[in-house]
Amino acid sequence: MNEGITTVLAIDDHPLFRKGVGDLIEMEPSLTMIGEAASGEEGLEKAAQLQPDLILLDLNMKGMDGVATLKRLRELEVEARVIMLTVSDNEADVVAALRAGADGYLLKDMEPEDTLEYLRQAAGGKLVISERLTELLAHALRSEGSHPGSAEQAELTERETQILALIAQGLSNKMIARKLDITEGTVKVHVKHLLKKLNLRSRVEAAVWAVNEGRTPS
């Protein structure tokens, strides 16, 4: 990858939409489309083969749907940030995708300029959610009562608390490892442990929980 260029793979079973996304990405110098896939199964192969930085993933696909594809990508430890790009604004779909490990959730009916701006932010490591879904998501997470009330109650170690704070700031595992002068593999182990202690299933949930609880160290 060229310095400063984010590589993108689109997984969507609508050829016209894939073409539209490709045309849109061509307008942004910091992004480049390196592949596309018409199904979840093909997407898994392309992700392993191309190692993109960013994956745009449709939710409702024939065969393996978006959430199933996302879960498999995470099981395979694909490093790419995965953004759901879909027509569904259903609360259950949004929560399911984020809990399966999505790094963002965008709606297909957004203005092209807005979509590009969100993709730039996603490339920079930020969680991106279409504006009209933000309140819906906050409500869904608030109504979930099965998480510890604080990092202390969760019995997080000092290192886990440090890493949680950096996740909440939008840092990737690689950036966290560099900041704390530890290996990326060590960061992954800590992230896995802190998610289990907090009864959360994804980095995004951990970031939202940490910010909402105000428990991250300054």
CATH number of the domain to which 206 belongs: 1.10.10.10
Integer-rounded Cα radius of gyration of the chain: 17
Share of the chain above pLDDT 90, in %: 51
Is residue 30 predicted with pLDDT exceeding 70? yes
Instruction: Verify that 61 and 92 share a domain, yes or no.
Output: yes
Cα distances from 149 to residues 16, 142, 197, 200, in angstroms, run: 46, 12, 12, 13
Mean pLDDT value across residues 88-109: 86
Instruction: Verify that 60 and 133 share a domain, yes or no.
Output: yes
Whether 11 is in a domain gets the answer yes
Instruction: Verify that 204 and 132 share a domain, yes or no.
Output: no
Residue 29 has a pLDDT of 93
Chain CA centroid to CA 182, Å: 23
Residue 214 has a pLDDT of 60
Residue 148 has a pLDDT of 60
Q: What is the domain range of residue 48? A: 6-141
Q: How far is Cα 166 from Cα 216, in angstroms, rounded to an integer?
A: 9
Is residue 69 predicted with pLDDT exceeding 70? yes
User: DSSP of 117-135, one letter per residue?
Assistant: HHHHHHHTT--EE-HHHHH
Mean pLDDT value across residues 143-154: 65
Confidence of residue 23 (pLDDT cuts 50, 70, 90): very high
pTM here is 0.75
Instruction: Verify that 167 and 66 share a domain, yes or no.
Output: no
Residue 1 has a pLDDT of 42
